[in-house]
Amino acid sequence: MPNKKTILSGMQPTGTGQLHLGNYEGALKNWVKLQDEYNMYCCIVDWHTLTAGFENSVNLKDCIFNVAADYLSAGLDPEKCAIFIQSDVKEHAELHLLFSMMISVPTLTRLPTFVEKKEEIGLDNYGFLGYPVLQAADICIYNADFVPVGKDQEKHIWLAADLAKRFNNTYGETLVEPKALFTKIPVVPGSDGKKMSKSYGNTLMLNESAEETEAKLKRYFTDPEKLRKGDPGHPDICPVYMLHKIYTPDHEKEIAPPCKTGELGCVDCKKKLAKNLNGALEPIRKKRLVIEQNKDYVWDVLKNGATRARERAAAVMAAVRSAMKMDYYK
Ligand code: TRP
């Protein structure tokens, strides 16, 4: 589509690759909406995963499959949106290399994402230092206008825009300066009340059964002052109520008032949530079961996605080489 703006989104295939409710509400659900309005590229960034440990490569294949299967189950449509693997499009690596000449080491070592991970898990390899440069290449190689991300990625998108600008100032207008696309996303609390995250072990996974989800909800933190039915509750600080806000349309009438008076106990409240949450996830789970039986379909989607992505990436890369006067044979 000629007049559509372009979006590039990226997700790392980490752990088992299966996505949790936080990934879905925070990103995927939004992408499914965006694919109708934009020219969309959804990249599974396998090289980025290696920055945290190159031995991780042995699990990548299963992981990538699971991410792709969850994407498709959640409603990303390969007709509308190119779903592909980063390492299938070598142009990301070429632009990354060129970008790496245009940015100083202190700029990278000062980024909060670098500082945090270095302190947390001692990451200090060369590839990890270049993580945001590779991310900038992921984005700029498609001349993407927008990148849907969470606030934690703001600096990375800013850096991508800065690299594009620097390139343009040096070699002439070639690259689009991308912008972050922040959308209002609900906070999805994990079972311990903290942000849902695989590293906290507090997740509800998209591909779990309805029974597993209900069992996990039973163990969810609630208002610590509401110990038994009859105690007045405080929905505004309750993780279960936060989920009701997403999945129970009438939560303001049906849940909050009886919780506050004590009439509604946590056990029943969680049962209601389980019903609504499972209802919302049922179509995704059904589709997931079908897709899982169809492994070849998933790999075909990724292969075709890469072909489409490569087309655009090759055109932008040719423009980059030409602007740099590195198209030697022309
Ligand atoms: N850094 C992103 C994250 O951790 C993943 C990512 C890599 C990405 N390349 C990207 C996101 C390009 C958006 C665009 O979530």
Cβ atoms < 10 Å from Cβ of 151: 9
Same domain, 230 and 317: no
- Residue 239 and residue 116 share a domain: no
The atom of ligand 1 lying closest to the CA of 156 is: 1
pLDDT band at 2 (very low <50, low <70, confident <90, very high): low
308 within some domain: yes
CA atoms within 13 A on the CB side of 277: 33
Are 102 and 159 contained in the same domain? yes
Ligand 1 pocket residues where CB is under 6 Å: 8-10, 12, 45, 48, 135, 138-139, 147, 149, 153, 156
Q: Same domain, yes or no, for 216 and 242?
A: yes
pLDDT average, residue stretch 109-130: 90
State yes or no: pLDDT of 1 exceeds 60.
Answer: no
Q: Tokens 């389980």 correspond to what residue?
A: 274
pLDDT in tens, 141-192: 999 999 998 888 999 999 999 999 999 999 999 999 999 998 777 789 999 9
Residue nearest to atom 11 of ligand 1 (CA): 10
Mean pLDDT of 54-67: 95
How far is ligand 1, taken at its centre, from the CA of residue 174, in Å? 22
Residue nearest to atom 8 of ligand 1 (CA): 10
Ligand 1: which residue has its CA nearest to atom 15?
11
Residues 215 and 301 in one domain: no
Centroid of ligand 1 to alpha carbon of 148 (angstroms): 9
Question: 158 and 84, same structural domain?
Answer: yes
Q: Evaluate whether residue 196 is within a structural domain.
A: no
Active site residues: 117, 195, 198
Residues 280 and 165 both lie in one domain: no
Please check whether residue 198 lies inside any domain of the structure: no
Domain assignment present for residue 329? The answer is: no
Q: Quick count: other Cβ atoms within 10 Å of Cβ 273?
A: 23
Instruction: Verify that 254 and 163 share a domain, yes or no.
Output: no
In a domain, 300, yes or no: yes
Computed over its alpha carbons, how large is the radius of gyration of the chain?
22
What range does the domain containing 137 cover?
Answer: 6-188+295-323
Question: How far is 245 from 84, CA to CA, in rounded Å?
Answer: 33
Q: Report if residue 202 sits inside a domain.
A: no
Q: Is the pLDDT of residue 89 over 70?
A: yes
State in Å: Cα 48 to ligand 1 middle. Answer: 8
Domain with 281 in it: what CATH number? 1.10.240.10
Mean pLDDT across the chain: 94
Q: Are residues 276 and 303 in the same domain?
A: no
Q: Is there a domain that residue 200 lies in?
A: no
What pTM did the predictor assign?
Answer: 0.91
The length of the chain, given as a count of residues: 330
Residue 213 in contact with residue 274, Cβ under 8 Å?
yes
Q: What are the C-alpha distances in Å from 138 to residues 45, 91, 144?
A: 9, 9, 9
Residue 140 has a pLDDT of: 98
Distance 136 CA to ligand 1 centre (A): 9
Q: Give the H or E element holding residue 43.
A: strand 39-44
Task: Give the pLDDT band of residue 124 (cuts 50, 70, 90).
Answer: confident
Measured CA to CA, the distance from residue 286 to residue 283 in angstroms comes to 5
The answer on 146 and 121 residing in a single domain is yes
Q: In the chain, how many domains are there?
A: 2
* Same domain assignment for residues 270 and 306: no
Domain co-membership, 124 together with 212: no
CATH number (domain holding residue 23): 3.40.50.620
Whether 143 is in a domain gets the answer yes
Q: What is the pLDDT of residues 213-260, one digit of tens each?
A: 999 999 999 999 998 889 999 999 999 999 999 999 999 999 999 999
